[in-house]
Amino acid sequence: MTSKPFRPGMVGLLRETAPRERRVALTPSDVKRLMGRMNICVEESAGTAAGFVDQAYAEAGAQLSGRAEILSTCDILLSVQPPEVIEELPRRSTLISLGGRDADLNRRLRERDITHLGLERLPRTSRAQAMDVLSSQATIAGYAAVMEGARVLDILLPMLTTAAGVIKPARMIALGGGVAGLQAIATARRLGAITHGFDVREAAREQIESLGAKFVFPEIALESTEGFGGYAREQSDDQQLRLRRALAAELTTMDLIITSAQIPGRAAPLLIDKETVVGLRKGSVIVDLAVESGGNCALTKANDIVDVGGVHILGPTNLSSLFATDASRLFSGNIRALLEYLLDKEDRFRLDASDPITRALLAEQVAPNTSTPTIGAEA
């Protein structure tokens, strides 16, 4: 693929159109920090659902406009979720948003000659850490998962000693020692629960135990489980079955189970099957954060609560949006870092296909030896 000619233009912040999406990709404080290096146009009411009013954007130096004007004048478009109507996006523009692993979305974008910097494709490297929206939003999701689980539980998380008697603390486990799982452990522990953590990667033990949780690792023989980029490697069906059977005994002692085990580009591993659910304590709660990639529990339904003999299984999607203000602040910080990274010394946007971060964001949109296109101009 040869480099595309990008005409000079502004950065446009779009209002979200996806259902249940309340976040905004850029907050007024980050707009203010960027204004010295680029021009930013904000769609009216873009940040309202997250608690950021139009006046704040105007005071930060942004130009407020309607959607049609932004789409007709801006070459670089920002959003959390990709717009629902792809056909409204101008041809040969650049979209920075989630959706990097959605094959159908990326096909439709390519058909319109739109360059998509899919944020899920950012590499898990120290250099890209400040831009890593998956980690920042997983932090919010881990916290939210515990709050949602506590809301449905029929017992309290902390131990209470009262004149009427003593209430024992709840027992909680996080299946998956990534960012979301670790945040879930930290949140549950702050709320007074007895916490546990599980991960197929032995390397996760130190992180789980550093939070004061007990590391649970069934004594079964598994091959190396370390995968690329810090993720777990996909296991065979037989390995997963043995793991589920070994985990079942531990799960029967838990009140709150948070699952977040995922493998990029693949279906989420099945950690809790129907047989295990039937054996859980009545009143216990499972919050399955992997529901969007198939779920870690066999009975999870997206955006629903399933009751199996008194065991409640929650399948919330986009949990980060429940805490839209802080989630947006973190997301915006990631986007600001990415925009600054893409600027050259003359404050022009460039997509350098030889750069590992940019190449990962572009994924299949570039070929070896692609020259460096300019995707904007100085402010």
The b-or-e profile of 91-125 (16+ CB within 10 A means b, else e) is eebbbbbbbbeeeebbebbeeeebbbbbbbbbbee
The whole-number pLDDT of residue 55 equals: 98
User: From the candidates 63, 129, 239, 240, which is the catalytic residue?
Assistant: 129
pTM of the predicted model, to two decimals? Answer: 0.89
Would you state the pLDDT for residue 364?
A: 61
Q: 98 and 76 in contact (C-beta within 8 Å)?
A: no
**Residue 56, SS3 per DSSP:** helix
**So what's the pLDDT on residue 53?**
98
Predicted local confidence at residue 195, as pLDDT: 98
> Which domains does the chain possess?
10-121+343-365 (3.40.50.720), 142-322 (3.40.50.720)
Amino acid at 102: D
Q: Please indicate whether residue 129 is annotated as part of the active site.
A: yes
Q: What is the pLDDT of residue 226?
A: 52
Of the candidates 37, 67, 92, 124, the residue annotated as catalytic is 124
- Asked about 132 being catalytic, the answer comes back as yes
Phi and psi angles of residue 179, each rounded to the nearest 5 degrees, phi first:
-60, -45
CA distances from 341 to 117, 137, 204 (A): 13, 20, 30
> Which residue out of 132, 199, 255, 288 is catalytically annotated?
132
Q: Which is catalytic among the residues 79, 135, 332, 365? A: 135
Q: In the block, which residue shows the tokens 């159109």?
A: 17
What residues of the chain score a pLDDT lower than 50? 1-8, 221, 224, 227-231, 367-379
Torsion of CA 307, 285, 206, 330, to 10 degrees: 90
